């Protein structure tokens, strides 16, 4: 027997469930299992297991799966996206969407922490910011919330436009436009075009766009009547002053006292400015924003200072691209530490730019005062004869175990798949 339901009917079932799940290892009682079919996996094959594990229904597109508990749809991924948009309309709450080449996750976390002083909200968990993650984020929202923050990532032109149609944000924020995923995008101009897709959607739907007026590439946003600019000045005429940003940000808002934000570097000053702008836009006063920024703690291997066994480690190993690596090195340069060590891993999704970008980083480090080590096949390809370059993390670990470093400040940065945070036990 084939069970077919319309979107409205499935949404009614969803509201009575414990949520959507796409991984049988994370099944919760009374959840809806949705069988995603990808190039290397087919969720339909695990639908029976999901029902046995406690899912109330399995949403599938395999007609051979018959019987009670199965809901048949045409394309499960499309259905996931359609259901999430239907749910977003049902909730009818303000949604702030954040994208950008660098800093979008830190900015999202900062904005969420600041706005939590006044609102009950939810934001994207981890990096669930793609064509699957955004729908799952939307479906995690409920009627108890005042607003939501949805992060949007992309590595191709058109993805932010599609995600915007799914999430229907009322407010948009683009952190910056750099070289992330330049190989996938096919060039810097396409990156700019892709990130500005969020603004195109906001303009079409007459929403509000927050932007940093210090960046020239936001010129088109300046003329939009519902844009809100920020820099060192904000929409309520408050100003910020940054006394220093190394190792942590020391700043004040308006006539208030100076306070510390436990993030370091000028790049994180930009992320903090974005969070302050969001706070002011959503009606928080300077004191509320200050109190929230003071208690912010970075997580997820992003801009974290960690006291290791023998050294202090600045762990920024969640992702890496030429722009963010340059920013991290600049930040590290300004530190007053006597002994410094830079450990960088490969940058991915650079396409035809991979060799030139890795070579540029290597050439800069050769002239650098700090000691350095480079890890990964891309760096090994351009400097295989350098004893400071290792083709794999395992090779580096074997080498580093023979060293005894104490009292160093160590920068660790690489693309996510290298998982360089596992090196912490060596330090």
Superfamily for 93-294? Mur-like, catalytic domain (3.40.1190.10)
Which tens digits make up the pLDDT trace of 289-319? 999 999 998 776 677 888 999 999 999 888 8
Task: List where CATH 3.40.1390.10 sits in the chain.
Answer: 7-74
Q: Which CATH number does the domain 304-426 belong to among 3.50.50.60, 3.90.190.20, 3.30.390.30, 3.40.50.620?
A: 3.90.190.20
Secondary-structure percent of the chain, ordered helix, strand, coil, rounded to 5: 40, 20, 40
Which tens digits make up the pLDDT trace of 20-36? 999 999 999 999 999 99
For residues 222 and 228, give the distance between their C-alpha atoms in angstroms, rounded to a whole number: 8
**381 is written with which tokens?**
């390809």
Find tokens 């969001």 and name the residue.
278
**311 is written with which tokens?**
């050294």
Q: What is the mean pLDDT of residues 156-169?
A: 94
Q: What is the mean pLDDT of residues 100-121?
A: 94
For residues 166 and 83, give the distance between their C-alpha atoms in angstroms, rounded to a whole number: 9
What pLDDT shows up at residue 183? 47
What pLDDT shows up at residue 319? 80
**Residue of 207, 212, 120 whose CA lies nearest to 164:** 207
Q: What is the mean pLDDT of residues 363-380?
A: 91
Topology classification of domain 7-74: 3.40.1390
Phi, then psi, of 264 in degrees rounded to 5: -125, 155
**Residue of 346, 398, 395, 403 whose CA lies nearest to 371:** 403
Mean residue pLDDT across the chain: 90
Neighbours of 254 (CB within 10 A): 15
Least confident of 90-99, 274-283, 367-376: 367-376
From the centroid of its chain, how far is CA 246? 23
What pLDDT shows up at residue 181? 45
Highest mean pLDDT among 32-46, 48-62, 363-377: 48-62
Find tokens 């969803």 and name the residue.
14
Bridge partners, residue 209, by sequence: 172, 227
Phi, then psi, of 47 in degrees rounded to 5: -65, -45
Distances, alpha carbon 303 to alpha carbons 123, 266, 328, 412, in Å:
19, 12, 9, 10
Residues above pLDDT 70, as percent of the chain? 96
For residues 127 and 124, give the distance between their C-alpha atoms in angstroms, rounded to a whole number: 7
For residues 58 and 316, give the distance between their C-alpha atoms in angstroms, rounded to a whole number: 39
């Amino acid at each position: 027997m084939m069970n077919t339901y319309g979107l409205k009917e499935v949404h009614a079932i969803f509201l009575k469930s414990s949520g959507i799940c796409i991984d049988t290892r994370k099944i919760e009682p009374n959840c809806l299992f949705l069988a995603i079919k990808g190039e290397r996996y087919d969720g339909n094959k695990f639908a029976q297991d999901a029902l046995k594990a406690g899912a109330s229904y399995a949403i599938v597109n395999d007609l051979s799966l018959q019987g009670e508990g199965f809901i048949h749809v045409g394309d499960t991924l499309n259905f996931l996206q359609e259901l999430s948009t239907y749910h977003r309309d049902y909730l009818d709450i303000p949604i702030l969407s954040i994208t950008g080449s660098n800093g979008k996750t830190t900015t999202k976390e900062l904005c969420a922490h600041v706005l939590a002083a006044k609102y009950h909200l939810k934001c994207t968990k981890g990096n669930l910011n793609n064509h699957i993650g955004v729908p799952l984020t939307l479906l995690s929202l409920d009627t108890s919330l005042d607003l939501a923050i949805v992060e949007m990532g992309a590595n191709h032109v058109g993805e932010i436009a599609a995600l915007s149609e799914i999430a229907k944000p009322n407010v948009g924020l683009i952190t910056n436009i750099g070289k992330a995923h330049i190989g996938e995008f096919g060039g810097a101009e396409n990156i700019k075009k892709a990130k500005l897709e969020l603004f195109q959607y906001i303009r079409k739907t007459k929403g509000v766009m927050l932007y940093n007026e210090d960046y020239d590439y936001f010129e088109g946003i300046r003329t939009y009547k519902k844009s809100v600019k920020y820099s060192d000045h904000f929409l309520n005429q408050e100003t910020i002053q940054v006394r220093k940003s190394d190792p942590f940000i020391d700043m004040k808002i308006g006539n208030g006292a100076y306070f510390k934000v436990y993030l370091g570097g000028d790049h994180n000053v930009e992320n903090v400015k974005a969070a302050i702008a969001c706070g002011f836009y959503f009606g928080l006063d300077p004191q509320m924003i200050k109190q929230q920024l003071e208690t912010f703690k970075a997580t997820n291997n992003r801009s974290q200072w960690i006291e290791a066994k023998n050294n202090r480690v600045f762990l920024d190993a969640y992702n890496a691209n030429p722009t963010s690596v340059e920013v991290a090195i600049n930040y590290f340069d300004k530190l007053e530490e006597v002994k410094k060590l830079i450990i960088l891993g490969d940058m991915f999704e650079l396409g035809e730019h991979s060799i030139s970008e890795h070579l540029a980083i290597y050439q800069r480090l050769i002239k650098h005062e700090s000691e350095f080590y480079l890890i990964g096949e891309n760096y090994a390809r351009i400097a295989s004869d350098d004893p400071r370059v290792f083709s794999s993390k395992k090779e580096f670990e074997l080498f580093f175990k023979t060293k005894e470093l104490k009292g160093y400040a160590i920068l660790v940065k690489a693309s996510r798949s290298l998982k360089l945070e596992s090196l912490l036990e060596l330090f």
